[in-house]
């Protein structure tokens, strides 16, 4: 399912924005003119990755500090060991679209 998120220019740079679809929480991050989408829930415990600090293409979990790669969802540092899901994002004509399939 392709979902229009809005204009690229409305997304803040280098910090997360949380969007929700039912029970699903997804964190969007604008890095330059690219946008990355990962699961908002940290894979270690309950924390919102959209609220984490962004460094280059990584976000630091605000609760215990694990870092996740925004491109792959991979956990880069402990205590998290499991990845978070990633989602395809398209930017066309200045609009951001998320490819998301409900489970």
* Pair 97, 4: CB distance under 8 Å: yes
User: Residue 98 Cβ, how far from ligand FES at the closest point, in Å?
Assistant: 23
**Closest approach of Cβ 6 to ligand FES, in Å?**
27
Please state whether the peptide bond connecting residue 34 to the residue before it is cis, i.e. omega within 30 degrees of 0: no
Binding footprint of ligand FES on the chain (CB under 6 A)? 42, 44-45, 47, 61, 63-64, 66, 79-80
Tally helices (H) and strands (E) across the chain: 0, 9
Quick one: 7 or 45, whose CB is closer to ligand FES?
A: 45
Q: How far is the CB of 80 from ligand FES (least distance, A)?
A: 5
């Amino acid at each position: 399912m392709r979902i229009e998120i809005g204009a690229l220019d409305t997304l803040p740079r280098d910090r997360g924005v949380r969007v929700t679809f039912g029970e699903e929480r997804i964190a969007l991050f604008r890095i330059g003119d690219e946008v990355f989408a990962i699961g908002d829930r940290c894979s270690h415990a309950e924390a919102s990755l959209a609220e984490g600090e962004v460094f280059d293409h990584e976000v630091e979990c605000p609760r215990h500090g694990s870092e996740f790669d925004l491109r792959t969802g991979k956990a880069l540092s402990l205590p998290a060991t499991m990845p978070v899901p990633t989602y395809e994002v398209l930017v066309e004509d200045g609009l951001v679209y998320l490819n998301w399939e409900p489970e």
